């Protein structure tokens, strides 16, 4: 009798494994340029997941196309490297089908805000319980330097001489307006600070969006100065949607930290089975 109970409780007891950041590295060599901000994001993710405590097999990294979207191949977790712009849709489908998994969608500003912009809005609106990390370097890097939705209007490039002339997209304001539950900004130059945000975002229910300033030193060498420009956000407006919106609209884009936390419900989970195929087929009787 006692034996039976012992066995049963041992089987249901969660296994306590201790992970190290390097347990989450695949060992593959990144295609990124030396000095790319994305190395810092990779380090931040590895450290965050080690701290978070779920094993590589329980995590799926989902991405689209672009330099930063190569990240799933550099981690030892499960991964889904899909087509350009559609990572959030694939990640949402996966999370809804498999709520037991930890789903993290990663990508860049072109992938997430331009070709995938519609999915960004509607994923915020659905608010699935998953994390989205955007490595924003305000440029299309893989295609060698075209302006993205977050590029400054006067940034000169071959494809837009003299600048694109458009006001940059404000992803944080859009995320808050569209219904994301957690909105934060991190910096790739501070992997530890970023790791804390990632753990926090993973724990917060609903859709957590972390915009990471991740310099492209190849096509935007001036972004090296970002390390001097970033600073922790001084205002605490986390729970106030209107105040958080005002903050991210007025901000120069270099305030770091959690900028908004909401408590909106996620898209509803699947329901328990309550019918049989036999019952379904009986409906076809005339």
Partner 1 sequence: MSRRSIAVVFAGSGGSGAMTAGAVFLRAAARAGYFGMMTQLFGAQVRGGESASLVQIGVDPIEAQPDRFDAFVALDWDKVEQFAAEIPLDDTSLIIADPASGPVPPGIAKAKGRVVSLAMTGAGESKLDRALLGKRVNMFAAGCLAALCGLPEQHIAGAVEAAFGSKGQDVAAANTARALAGAQAAPALALDLKLAPPRHNERWLISGNQAVALGALRGGVRFVGCYPITPATDLVEWLAPHLIKLGGRLVLGEDELASINLALGASYGGVPAMTVTSGPGFSLMVESLGLAIAAEIPLVLVDVMRAGPSTGIASKTEQSDVNLAIYGAHGDAPRVVLAPLSVADCAATTEYAVYVTESLQVPVIVLSDQMLGQATAVVDPVSDRPAPLKRKINGAGASQPFKRYATSGDAITPMPLPGTPDHEWVAEGLTHNEAGLPASGAAMHAAQIHKRARKIREFDAGERWGEVTGEGDTAILAFGSTVGPAREAARRLAEAGRQVRVIALRLLAPLPVKQLAQALTGVRRIVVIEQNDTGQLYRHLLGNKAVPVDAESVARPGPLPFRPSEIVNYVA
DSSP 127: -
Question: Dihedral through CA 249, CA 87, CA 93, CA 51, nearest 10?
Answer: -80
Residue 23 in the binding site for partner 1 (CB under 8 A): no
Could you tell me which of 45, 130, 148 has the C-alpha nearest to residue 88? 130
Tokens 């729970």 sit at which residue? 239
Backbone φ, ψ for residue 196 (5° rounding):
-65, -45
Between CA 235 and CA 12 the distance in angstroms is 44
* Beta carbon of residue 98, minimum distance to partner 1 (angstroms, whole number): 4
Contacting partner 1 (CB under 8 A), which of 121, 177, 217, 246?
121
Contact between residue 209 and residue 91 where contact means Cβ atoms under 8 Å apart: no
Residue 188 in the binding site for partner 1 (CB under 8 A): no
Residue 22 in the binding site for partner 1 (CB under 8 A): no
Residue 280 in the binding site for partner 1 (CB under 8 A): yes
Residue 51 in the binding site for partner 1 (CB under 8 A): no
Residue 107 in the binding site for partner 1 (CB under 8 A): no
Which residue number, 88 or 259, has a Cβ lying nearer to partner 1? 88
* Beta carbon of residue 139, minimum distance to partner 1 (angstroms, whole number): 21
Residue 98 in the binding site for partner 1 (CB under 8 A): yes
* Beta carbon of residue 99, minimum distance to partner 1 (angstroms, whole number): 10
Residue 30 in the binding site for partner 1 (CB under 8 A): no
Residue 49 in the binding site for partner 1 (CB under 8 A): no
DSSP 270: P
Residues 62-91 binding partner 1 (CB under 8 A) are 62, 70, 72-73, 76-83, 85-86, 89-91
Between CA 49 and CA 35 the distance in angstroms is 23
Structure tokens, 281: 């087929």
Residue 234 in the binding site for partner 1 (CB under 8 A): no
Could you tell me which of 18, 82, 72 has the C-alpha nearest to residue 45? 72
Could you tell me which of 266, 133, 264, 269 has the C-alpha nearest to residue 202? 133
Residue 284 in the binding site for partner 1 (CB under 8 A): yes
Could you tell me which of 157, 151, 89 has the C-alpha nearest to residue 117? 89
Between CA 26 and CA 37 the distance in angstroms is 19
Which residue number, 62 or 259, has a Cβ lying nearer to partner 1? 62
User: Which residues are at the interface with partner 1 (CB under 8 A)?
Assistant: 26, 28, 31, 55-58, 60, 62, 70, 72-73, 76-83, 85-86, 89-98, 100-101, 118-119, 121-122, 267, 270-275, 277, 280-281, 284-286
């Amino acid at each position: 009798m006692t034996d039976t109970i012992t066995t049963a409780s041992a089987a249901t007891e969660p296994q306590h494994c201790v992970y190290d950041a390097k347990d989450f590295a695949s060992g593959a060599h990144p295609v990124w340029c030396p000095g790319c901000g994305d190395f810092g994001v990779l380090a931040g993710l590895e450290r965050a997941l080690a701290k978070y405590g779920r094993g590589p097999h329980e995590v799926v990294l989902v991405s689209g196309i672009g330099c930063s979207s190569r990240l799933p191949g550099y981690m030892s977790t499960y991964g889904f490297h899909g087509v350009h712009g559609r990572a959030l849709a694939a990640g949402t489908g996966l999370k809804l089908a498999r709520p037991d998994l930890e789903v993290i969608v990663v990508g860049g500003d072109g992938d997430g805000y331009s070709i995938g912009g519609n999915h960004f809005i509607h994923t915020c609106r659905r608010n699935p319980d998953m994390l989205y990390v955007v490595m924003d370097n305000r440029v299309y890097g893989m295609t060698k330097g075209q302006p993205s939705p977050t590029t400054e209007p006067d940034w000169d490039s071959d494809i837009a001489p003299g600048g694109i002339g458009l006001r940059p997209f404000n992803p944080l304001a859009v995320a808050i307006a569209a219904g994301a539950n957690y909105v934060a900004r991190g910096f790739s130059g501070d992997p530890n600070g970023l790791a804390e945000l990632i753990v926090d975002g993973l724990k917060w229910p609903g859709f957590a969006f972390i915009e990471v300033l991740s310099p492209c030193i190849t096509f935007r060498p001036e972004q090296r100065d970002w390390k001097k420009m970033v600073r922790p956000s001084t205002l605490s407006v986390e729970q106030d949607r209107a105040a958080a919106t005002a903050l991210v609209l007025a901000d120069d884009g270099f305030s770091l930290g959690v900028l908004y936390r909401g408590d909106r419900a996620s898209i509803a989970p699947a329901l328990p089975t309550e019918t049989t195929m036999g019952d379904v087929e009986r409906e076809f009787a005339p």
